[in-house]
Amino acid sequence: MDAGLLSYLVFFLTLSGVYMILSLGLNIQWGYNGQINIGIAGFFAIGAYTSAILTTAPTDIHLGGFGMPFFVGALGAVLAAGILAFLIGLITLELRGDYLAIASIGIAEIVRLTLKNEGWLTNGVRGVPAIPKPFADVFPGWEDEVFLAVVAVFVVLSYLAVNRLFHSPWARTVRAIRANEPAVQAVGKNILNYRLQAFVLGSMFMGLAGSLYAAFVAFISPSAFDPMFATFFIWVMLITGGSGNNKGAIVGALLIWGIWSGTEMLTTSFLPDDWTTRASALRIFLIGLLLEVVLLLRPQGLFPEQPPKVR
Amino acid sequence: MVFAQLIIYGIVLGSILALAAVGVSLIFSQLRFAHFAHGDVVTFGAYFGLLFTGTLALPLYLAFPLALAATGILAVAIDQLLYRRLRRSEPVILLISSIGVALMLRSVIQMVWGPDNRNYGGGGVSFPYEFLGLRIKPEQIVIIVGTVLLVTALHLFLTRTKTGKAMRATADNASLARVTGIDTERVILWAWIITAVLAAAAGLFLGLDTRLNPMMGWRILLPIFAAALVGGIGNYYGAIAGGLIIGLSQELSTAVISPAYKPAVAFAIMVLVLILRPRGIFARRREAG
C-alpha cells in the first residue's frame, strides 16, 4: 500500500475512534436517559485542553505544561469534563429537557470564549502546540500507527464498559426514567441523582475523546472545537446508528465520518478551488438532510435499541 | 454619559433580541419544543433583505416587507414538509429535527451568498445624529421604531383577532382548546408566520445595525433563548421584556468586563433565572408546565 494512502487511512481511523467515544458518551446521556446535550463541543474541548496543558513540556505561552505522561492527561481530561458536567447538571437537570439543551449551548459557548480570551491559560487563538503522543519512541517513525492502536484500545474498553453498563440495574433505572419518570419516582428512586450520574458519566467520555484528539493532532486551538463537527455530527452519528444502542453509536460514527471524508475526497479532486467551500456547505446540507430522513423514516436508527431480556 | 450611550446600544440590541425571543416563546407554547433553527431563520430574514435590496435593487421600504413575507413562506414550508410529519413524535424529536433544519438553512446561505460579511449597501457608513453628547445612528432609530410598530401589531393580533385569541387559548391549555373546536393546525400555521416575520425583522435589523454573516443568527441564539427564558417561556410579553433585559445587560456589562464575554452575560442571567425563578421572572402562580 502506498504511504499516502496508509497515512490517510490511519488519520481516518484515528478520528473515527475519537468520534466513536464521543458517540458512546452521548449515548449514555441521550440514548439511555433522554438528555439533550447540544454542548458536546464544550466537554470535548475541556478534555483536549486539560490533557494538553498537563502533558506538554513546560512553556511560557500557556499554563504549565506539566510534562506529565499521557495517561495522567487523559485522567485529568475525564475529571475536568466530569466536574463541568456536574456543575451544569446540578442547575438544569431538575428542569424539563429543553432547558438542559439550551443551557448546554451556553456552556459550550462559555468554554469557547474562555479558551479564546484567556491567553495565560490557553495561549488564546494561537493555540497549544507540541502536544506529545504516548509511546512515540517505541517504534520511531510509526508514531501515528502506534497511537491508532492506543485509540483502538480506548474504543474497545469504552465500548465494553458502556455496554456492560447497559445491562446493569443502574441503566435499567436510567432508561426507566426516560420512559416514565413518575413511575420511577413512585418506586422511590432519586431521579435527580440518576440523571446527574448519567450526564456526568457521558461527559467524562467526551473529555476522554478530547484528550485523544489533542494528542493525535498535536496542536489545538479554539477553532478546532466548532459546534458543527464537535456537536452536530455526533448527534447525526448517534441518531443514524441508533439511539440507545452502543453498536449503533459505533457504526453511526464510522458511517457518518466515512460519508464526510469520502465526499471530501470527491469534491477536492474534481472541483476547482473556489467551488470547494460551496461544496462543503452542500455536504453539510446533505448531513442535515440525512438527519431529517432518518427522523422521518427510521427514527430508531440502523440498530434499534434492544432492551436486555429480563431473567 | 458613557452609561447613557450604552443604554441606547442596549435598547437597540434588546429590540432585536425581543423580536426573535417572542417567536421562540410562541413556538414553544404551541408545539412544546425549543426551536433550535430560530437563529438561522433570523439569518435567512437578513439575507432575503440582501436579495431584494442587492440583487433586485429595490428600495429598503419595499425590500424589507418582501423579506418578511419570504421568511414567513419559508417557515411555513419547513413546518409543512418536516415538523408537521413529526407532530405525533415526542417534542424532543422536533427539537433534534430543528437542529438539522438549522444546519440546512445555514449551508444554503453559505452556498448562495458565500461565507463573507455583507451589508445592505448605501455606502455602508452612515453618520450618527448627536444630541446631548449621545450618538445614535439613523438605522438604530429605524430599529427601535420598527420594533415598537411590530410589537404593537403583535399585541393587536393576540387580543383583537379570533386567531390570536385561539393562539393564547392553545398556549394555556392545548387539549381544552382542541375540544372547544379550535383548529389547532390553523393556529400553528399562524404561529409560524408570526414567528418567522418577527425573526426576519430581527435579522434585517441586526444586518442594518452591524453586518450580515451566515453565522449571525446562530451567534445570537443563546441570548434569544436567554430572553425567552427570563420572560418565562410561553409568555410573549415576558419575552419582549426579557429581550430588553438581556440586551441592556449585555451592553452595560461592557463597562465592567471585556466585551468578548458579552454572550456569557446572557448565559449568567439565564442561569440565575433558572435557579431562582425557573418559570421566568413574570411567572404567575399557576402555569402549565
- Nearest-neighbour CA in chain B from A35: distance (Å): 9
Mean pLDDT for all residues in chain B: 90
Asked whether residue B230 is domain-assigned, the answer is: no
Q: Is B146 on the interface with A (CB under 8 A)?
A: no
| C-alpha to C-alpha distances, B274 to A204, B219, B266, nearest whole angstrom | 25, 21, 12
Model confidence pLDDT, tens digit, residues B39-73 = 999 999 999 999 998 888 888 889 999 999 999 99
Asked whether residue B287 is domain-assigned, the answer is: no
How far, rounded to the nearest angstrom, does the alpha carbon of residue B88 sit from its chain's CA centroid? 26
Query: How far apart (Å, rounded) are the C-alpha atoms in residues B104 and B40?
Result: 9
Give the CA count within 13 Å in the CB-facing half-sphere of B2. Answer: 6
Angle, nearest 10°, between helix axes A3-26 and A246-270? 140
B143 and B20 in contact (C-beta within 8 Å)?
A: no
Percent of chain A with pLDDT over 70: 99
Asked whether residue A237 is domain-assigned, the answer is: no
The domain of A112 spans 3-226
Name the amino acid, one letter, at B58: L
Asked whether residue B50 is domain-assigned, the answer is: yes
- Quote the pLDDT of residue B287: 46
Q: How long a stretch of residues is chain B? A: 289
Angle, nearest 10°, between helix axes A233-241 and A246-270? 120
Mean pLDDT of A272-291: 86
Asked whether residue A90 is domain-assigned, the answer is: yes
B-chain residues near A292 (CB < 8 A): 82, 97, 100-101, 104
Question: ipTM, 2 decimals?
Answer: 0.91
Mean pLDDT of A275-300: 90
B93 and A291 in contact (C-beta within 8 Å)?
A: no
**Which of A36, A109, A296 lies closest to B263 in CB terms?**
A109
Query: How far apart (Å, rounded) are the C-alpha atoms in residues A238 and A249?
Result: 5
Query: How far apart (Å, rounded) are the C-alpha atoms in residues A121 and A134?
Result: 23
Query: How far apart (Å, rounded) are the C-alpha atoms in residues B216 and B44?
Result: 10
Nearest CA in chain A to B93: A295
Asked whether residue A262 is domain-assigned, the answer is: no
- Quote the pLDDT of residue B216: 95
Asked whether residue B253 is domain-assigned, the answer is: no
B220 and B39 in contact (C-beta within 8 Å)?
A: yes
A52 and A131 in contact (C-beta within 8 Å)?
A: yes
Q: Which residue has the cell 443604554?
A: B7
How far, rounded to the nearest angstrom, does the alpha carbon of residue A310 sit from its chain's CA centroid? 31
Asked whether residue A143 is domain-assigned, the answer is: yes
- Nearest-neighbour CA in chain B from A94: distance (Å): 10
Query: How far apart (Å, rounded) are the C-alpha atoms in residues B75 and B26?
Result: 14
Model confidence pLDDT, tens digit, residues B194-223 = 999 999 999 999 999 999 999 999 999 999
- Nearest-neighbour CA in chain A from B144: distance (Å): 27
Domain count across chain B: 1
Query: How far apart (Å, rounded) are the C-alpha atoms in residues B204 and B264?
Result: 24
Domain count across chain A: 1
Asked whether residue B226 is domain-assigned, the answer is: no
Query: How far apart (Å, rounded) are the C-alpha atoms in residues A253 and A239?
Result: 10
- Nearest-neighbour CA in chain A from B225: distance (Å): 7
Query: How far apart (Å, rounded) are the C-alpha atoms in residues A98 and A180?
Result: 17
Cis amide bond preceding A89, omega within 30: no
Higher pLDDT, B233 or B236: B236
- What residues have CB less than 8 Å from B227, skipping those under 6 apart? B17, B18, B20, B21, B24, B239, B242, B243, B245, B246, B247, B266
Q: Which residue has the cell 441606547?
A: B8
Asked whether residue B246 is domain-assigned, the answer is: no
- Using CB atoms within 10 Å of the CB of residue A90, give its burial: 0 to 12 exposed, 13 to 18 middle, 19+ buried: middle
A-chain residues near B82 (CB < 8 A): 292, 296
Model confidence pLDDT, tens digit, residues A140-181 = 888 889 999 999 999 999 999 999 999 999 999 999 999 888
Asked whether residue A308 is domain-assigned, the answer is: no
Query: How far apart (Å, rounded) are the C-alpha atoms in residues B70 and B54?
Result: 15
Percent of chain B with pLDDT over 70: 96
Nearest to A32, CA basis, from A20, A23, A19, A41: A23
Mutate: best of A40, A295, A300, partner B, most B CBs <10 A: A295
Asked whether residue A187 is domain-assigned, the answer is: yes
A55 and A67 in contact (C-beta within 8 Å)?
A: yes
- Quote the pLDDT of residue A1: 59
The domain of B37 spans 19-119+126-217
Q: How long a stretch of residues is chain A? A: 311
Give the CA count within 13 Å in the CB-facing half-sphere of A192. Answer: 9
B288: pLDDT strictly greater than 50: no
Least confident residue range of A10-19, A35-44, B129-138, B266-275: B129-138
Q: Which residue has the cell 430543528?
A: B98
Cell digits of residue A66: 506539566
Model confidence pLDDT, tens digit, residues A299-309 = 999 999 987 77
B277 and B283 in contact (C-beta within 8 Å)?
A: yes
Least confident residue range of A34-43, B91-100, B188-197, B274-283: B274-283
Nearest CA in chain B to A92: B274
Phi, psi (rounded to 5 degrees) for A31: -65, -45
Asked whether residue B150 is domain-assigned, the answer is: yes
Return the exposure string of B155-172: e unless at least 16 CB atoms fall within 10 Å of the residue's CB, then b: eeebeeeebbebbebbbe
Nearest to B93, CA basis, from A287, A89, A203, A300: A300
